[in-house]
Structures are given as structure tokens and as C-alpha cells.
Amino acid sequence: MMWADPTGASWGGEPLLEMLRDKMPMKDIFFNNFIPSGFVLLAVNGLPQIAAALLLFKRHPMAPYAVLGCGILLMLWIVVEWWAWGLNTLSNIFFILGLAEAAIAMTIITNRKEKHKGH
């Protein structure tokens, strides 16, 4: 959405862009539209999630650690959203998803350590 309509007009993002402009540094460079935000979102959340998914599908031993990192990144991203925009339903849902992702990964990591400890 951020690249299809960088102004946010068609998806209701114009007020969000104004809130970002009010809070973020270098607003005249990075917050004239949503294109830079879209690239940052892709780099911070999209690509790491894809990498973690690939590790999971390959059953790589580092996959749970990658998933844990992704959950933490997602929660940190949402904290920034809360700071910029305040609490909102969608951000709250994504925070809970990041928390669940991190909790599941921690459970797997802990179980592996206990399993190896027992042998």
C-alpha cells in the first residue's frame, strides 16, 4: 500500500503521514510520502520474516533464534508506532503476534536446551 499509493489517500494513510511528520526527524527528507517508510518496513520486518520462514522450512537449527529475533523486531516496531500514532487496534494485534512469535521461539529454544541437557 505504501508504494501503490505513497500519499496514503486511497487507504486512509494521510493522517498517519502527518503524525509521522510531526514526530520524526528529517521529515522533509523521509516523510513527504510513504515510500521511505515502505522500504524501512520491508527491511526491518519483511525480509527478516522471510529469512526466518526459509530457515524454518529447511529445519535449520538456527530457525528458532531467527524467529525470536523477528518477534522482538516486530514488537519494537510496534512500540515506535505507538509512540508515533498512539494505541490502535491493528498495532495492538501485531504486537500480540510478535509476542506470540517470540514466546513460541523461546519455548522451542528452552525445550531444546533441556533435551540436550538430559542426554
Mean pLDDT score of the chain, rounded to an integer?
92
* Residue from 53, 87, 91, 54 nearest 75 by CA: 91
Please enumerate in sequence order all residues whose Cβ is within 8 A of that of 44, keeping only pairs 6 or more positions apart, or say none.
73, 77
Over the stretch 42-66, which tens digit does the pLDDT of each residue have? 999 999 999 999 999 999 999 999 9
* pLDDT for 27 beyond 70: yes
Domain spans, the chain: 9-118
Among the ranges given (16-30, 52-66, 90-104), the one the predictor scored with the smallest mean pLDDT: 16-30
Q: How many Å apart are CA 76 and CA 57, to the nearest integer? A: 25
Answer for the pair 49, 69: CB distance below 8 angstroms, yes or no. no
Instruction: Read off the C-alpha cell for 23.
Output: 514526530
**pTM metric for this prediction:** 0.84
Instruction: Read off the C-alpha cell for 111.
Output: 525445550
* Helical segments of the chain, H only: 14-23, 27-30, 35-41, 47-57, 63-85, 89-118
